[in-house]
Amino acid sequence: MLNLYPTQIESVSLHRVGNKSKNEPTFLSSSPFSLTDEMAGLLKEYFFRPFREKEENYYRFSNEVDLEFNEIFKSIAQLFENPSQSHAISKKITSYLYDQSSHPHIKSGEVYIAHLSDVVLDNQKIDAVGIFKSELKHDFLQFEEKEENLDILVRQGININKLDKGCIVFNVDKEEGYKVLSVDSNRYDAKYWLESFLGLEPLTDENFYTKNYLKFCQNFAKDVVLPAEDKQQEVLFMNRAVNHFAKNDAFEESSFLNEVMENPELIPEFKHYKVEKGPKFSIEDVSNFDIANKAVSDARKKIKNVIQLDTNIQIKMDFINPESAEKFVEKGWDEERQMYYYLVYFNKEQKS
């Protein structure tokens, strides 16, 4: 669990990087940026907002030969060891980013490298390094008094409500490549930031497996349960799956299948589907792992638990009490109308 509200910016260096293939220059500031309290507050909101709004999908630095060959990993490790050299190291990081900026689609922009303190990760205060980049410029209006008239001037700048690219490297698990979060709002150059520059790969921890296994179950429900049974059973299957994850600390696949698969004939279908589709979710060889509660909560918010009928009526199921949908909702066929129906039992209507 990440908490960035108490985080302080200890130092920040500001540079500009161009597109190498277009012979655009790079500008490296000679000294760190001088922060005021007001500017620190604005930058914290600019840097951290997307990380508060985004799922916590962690990465780690990697290299196919050895981690020490990952240039950003090396630079970050040096900065953690010697924060007084952060500005000199920020120049190395920016120069390396410039070397990776050779595709014509890559936009020039400002690069901010910040040393952060009091980051709370999993209830522990640590330091971190943030690398952020602003790319897209937006028009804004400025007003100026000229003698007896008010004049409008068109200026260009960045939108501090939308960070274009960024990553935060947390000073934990160095030997495994640190824990890293990354955001990228612009999808026209997806591989450039995550792979070419940072050299990141997904961190396969309990959060990763919990999230991906539930996504896999969601696809199984849509591709197999729905065609084999109906929409109600698709929703109920996901209800049972999410609740199994919510009430257990560890996942064991055979126990999961015995509890959530009411139709035993679908168990072989599930295993076959896992062989076929499991690699897409990186869970093909995974049948036991610790469950991450945050990932379960995030999944519960995203999974649709609504039966949408072609008569413009919706029936919403309850993820917290899935047994209600099984006890008090019946599906049938009306011969006279030649239509399906749902019969819903209740004692009284609840006030909203």
Is 0.85 topped by the overall pTM? Answer: no
Helix (H) or strand (E) segment spanning residue 4 = none
pLDDT digits (tens, 9 = 90+) for 34-91: 999 999 999 999 999 999 877 778 999 999 888 999 999 999 999 999 999 999 999 9
Element spanning 290, H or E: strand 288-290
Tally of residues, the chain: 352
Spacing of C-alpha 323 from chain mean position: 31
Contacts with 187 (C-beta within 8 Å, 6 or more apart), sequence order: none
> Could you read off the pLDDT of 140-180 as tens digits, one per residue?
888 888 888 899 988 888 888 889 999 999 999 999 999 99
Tokens 């690219």 identify what position? 165
pLDDT > 70: what percent of the chain? 96
* Measured distance CA(118)–CA(11) in Å, rounded: 13
CA distances from residue 329 to 123, 326, 334, 344 in whole angstroms, order as listed: 43, 6, 16, 5
Which residues neighbour 199 within 8 Å (Cβ) at sequence distance 6 or greater?
61, 62, 63, 70, 71, 72, 73
| 110 CB burial (10 A radius; 0-12, 13-18, 19+) | middle
Q: What number of other Cβ atoms are within 10 A of residue 108's Cβ?
A: 19
Closest CA to 229 of 254, 257, 181, 261: 261
Angle between helix axes 206-220 and 266-281 (nearest 10 degrees) is: 130
- Distance between CA atoms of residues 11 and 115, nearest Å: 5
Q: CA of 290: how far to CAs of 128, 207, 246, 253, in Å?
A: 26, 9, 12, 12
Residues of the chain above pLDDT 90, percent: 58
Q: What gap in Å lies between CA 15 and CA 28, rounded to an integer?
A: 5
Q: What is the maximum span of the chain, computed from C-alpha positions, in angstroms?
A: 84
pLDDT above 90: residue 325: no
Q: Does the pLDDT value for residue 267 go beyond 70? A: yes
**DSSP element (H, E) containing 121:** strand 109-121
